[in-house]
């Protein structure tokens, strides 16, 4: 790795962000022969350090921000609105982005998600259909390496087999299966971006169980995989180079350069023919707002006034307790079974949601041992008495797009470069609360049928986000009602593309990374066509 952070000569493409979207775009364009520069705000983490980061993640002396070096003035933010939004609880700035610590679940959005207004009268339709993304979904599954099976009768149509076989159901999945059979609830496997067998020069999952926040073995996909592939194609990746603003030409028709800072306190200007914003659903609108000019006083690409607006996330509903028999929780660090049975039943009162059968309820033996001060036989007795009977279910619920939910700038708080920090203005609507309530009802039915002593629940009154940032540069055909067009190019500037969950028109209730990857591959084709 070179420490040179000076700008390259005018590049073909400048990509902002080295997470999954930026890495895939850079790799695709690099292998097609384009001169590509990637500017990443965070550092480049050494894969050799991941075992130490795993240890750090499970020791009680470290907080969740310590694992991936988050916090401080660089990552400052504000939150207002109906609910406090804990932005830093689940984000990483670095080469690899959020995939350094993600859960690794990769589902396609359903057909209904693209046609929600037509089918339910809620929200808006996307300007593209499921079939438009279908080939990109297949390509994304191949690029990331997805283990899955064609056993989900509620999934959208597909023709291609998954690149790898699905992971086997966990032991606790088998307990849930009997209760679900009695209630007429179908269970099925979960597509995971982790290797169930060797794939793409990476080994199969070895079961560390610490998938979130760190996979030491490399079996779970992270975007630094494609960063390395991009660099092998000649792409230049500059870390610790946060972009401060974008500068447009005199006419305001295109972006000329990205101004970025370096650790020595200097600013540099990177020129390019095309620009791709891939820094996530919070930092992308923030950068556009920070790039306000005389031509665009309300922020770049913001003639619609919608940059930062319609912020959406997925909300969690959950319930759990104890069972008077071993459940073998925490033997698997990820979800192996779900139910999407109720997803397409969405209407104007209840949105889409999916049920999750968790494999990590209650404390693990390691957590129990490290959090106490017992040793020897006393510790062994505690582990025998306190571990093994926990069981829980989760769910993700979609949120409708509302302009009042937004990412804006807070000029009263500045980051380490003196820029206003992002402010998250966030609240819930009644439809989302109804959806969480409905998920809780089904969870209670299943756990009661299983004989669980229910001890806790998370629902409409105490829910929290899944940290899936969506909707802040929404896609559409009308420049007055959207920020980017169906080709992911901004309406206002002809050489600026945004392949991100920020372009989502509706949230759905599926983890968004596979759709982000599909959009990145789609954007790469459009940038290629334009150049």
Lowest mean pLDDT among 3-17, 372-386, 495-509: 372-386
pLDDT value at position 62? Answer: 74
pLDDT one-digit tens code per residue, 249-269? 999 999 999 999 999 999 999
Lowest mean pLDDT among 269-283, 362-376, 457-471: 362-376
pLDDT one-digit tens code per residue, 297-334? 999 999 999 999 999 999 999 999 999 998 988 888 89
Q: Options 2.40.10, 3.30.410, 3.40.50, 3.30.110; which CATH number does 168-212+315-397+428-464 get?
A: 3.30.410
Is 105 in a helix, a strand, or coil?
strand
Side-chain-facing half-sphere of 221: CA atoms under 13 Å:
30
Residue 186: left (phi > 0), alpha (psi -120 to 50), or beta? Answer: beta
Is 324 in a helix, a strand, or coil?
coil
Which residues contact residue 258 at a Cβ distance below 8 angstroms, ignoring those fewer than 6 apart?
14, 16, 39, 243, 245, 246, 247, 269, 270, 272, 275
Enter the pTM of the model: 0.96
Superfamily of domain 1-45+58-109+222-312+402-426+469-531: FAD/NAD(P)-binding domain (3.50.50.60)
pLDDT value at position 1? Answer: 42
Domain span(s) for CATH 3.30.410 in the chain? 168-212+315-397+428-464
Going by pLDDT thresholds of 50, 70 and 90, the confidence category of residue 64 is: low
Domain span(s) for CATH 3.50.50.60 in the chain? 1-45+58-109+222-312+402-426+469-531
CA distance 231 to 40: 14
CA distance 134 to 158: 8
pLDDT one-digit tens code per residue, 237-247? 999 999 999 99
């Amino acid at each position: 790795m070179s420490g040179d952070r000076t700008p390259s000569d005018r590049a073909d493409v400048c990509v902002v962000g080295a997470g999954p979207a930026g890495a895939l775009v850079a790799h695709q364009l690099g292998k097609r022969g384009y001169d590509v520069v990637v500017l990443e705000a965070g550092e480049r983490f050494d894969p050799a350090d991941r075992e130490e980061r795993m240890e750090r993640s499970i020791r009680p002396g470290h907080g969740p921000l310590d694992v991936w070096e988050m916090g401080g003035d660089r990552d400052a933010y504000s939150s207002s609105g109906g609910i406090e939004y804990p932005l830093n609880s689940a984000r990483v700035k670095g080469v690899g982005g959020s995939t350094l610590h993600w859960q690794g679940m990769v589902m396609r959005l359903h057909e209904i998600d693209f046609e929600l207004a037509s089918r339910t009268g809620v929200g808006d339709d996307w300007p593209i259909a499921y079939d438009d993304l279908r080939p990109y979904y297949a390509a994304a599954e191949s690029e990331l390496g997805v283990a899955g099976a064609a056993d989900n009768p509620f999934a959208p149509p597909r023709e291609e087999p998954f690149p790898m076989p699905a992971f086997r159901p966990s032991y606790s999945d088998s307990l849930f299966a009997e209760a679900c059979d009695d209630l007429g609830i179908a269970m099925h496997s979960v597509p995971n971006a982790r290797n169930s067998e060797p794939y793409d020069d990476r080994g199969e999952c070895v079961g560390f169980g610490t998938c979130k926040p760190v996979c030491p073995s490399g079996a779970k996909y992270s975007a630094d995989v494609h960063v390395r592939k991009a660099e092998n194609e000649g792409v230049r990746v500059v870390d610790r180079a946060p972009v401060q603003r974008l500068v447009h030409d005199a006419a305001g028709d295109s972006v000329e350069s990205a101004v970025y800072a370096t650790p020595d306190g200097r600013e540099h200007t990177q020129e390019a023919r095309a620009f791709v914003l891939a820094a996530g659903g919070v930092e992308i609108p923030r950068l556009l707002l920070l790039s306000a000019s005389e031509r665009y006083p309300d922020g770049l690409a913001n003639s619609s006034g919608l940059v930062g607006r319609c912020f959406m996330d997925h909300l969690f509903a959950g319930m759990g307790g104890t069972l008077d028999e071993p459940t073998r929780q925490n033997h698997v660090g990820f979800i192996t079974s779900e139910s999407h049975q109720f997803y397409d039943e969405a209407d104007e009162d209840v949105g889409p949601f999916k049920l999750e059968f968790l494999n990590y309820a209650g404390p693990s033996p390691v957590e129990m041992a490290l959090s106490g001060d017992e040793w020897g036989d006393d510790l062994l007795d505690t582990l025998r008495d306190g571990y093994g009977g926990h069981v829980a279910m989760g769910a993700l619920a979609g949120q409708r797009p509302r302009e009042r939910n937004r990412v804006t700038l807070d000029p009263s708080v500045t980051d380490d470069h003196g820029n206003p920090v992002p402010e998250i203005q966030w609240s819930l609507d009644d439809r989302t609360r109804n959806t969480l309530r409905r998920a809780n009802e089904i969870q209670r039915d299943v756990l009661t049928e299983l004989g669980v002593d229910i001890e806790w629940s998370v629902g409409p009154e105490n829910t929290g986000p899944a940290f899936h940032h969506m909707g802040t540069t929404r896609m559409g055909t009308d420049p007055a009602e959207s920020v980017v067009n169906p080709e992911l190019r901004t309406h206002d500037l002809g050489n600026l593309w945004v392949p991100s969950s920020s372009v989502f028109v509706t949230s759905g209730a599926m983890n968004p990374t596979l759709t982000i990857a599909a959009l990145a591959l789609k954007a790469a084709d459009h940038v290629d066509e334009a150049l």
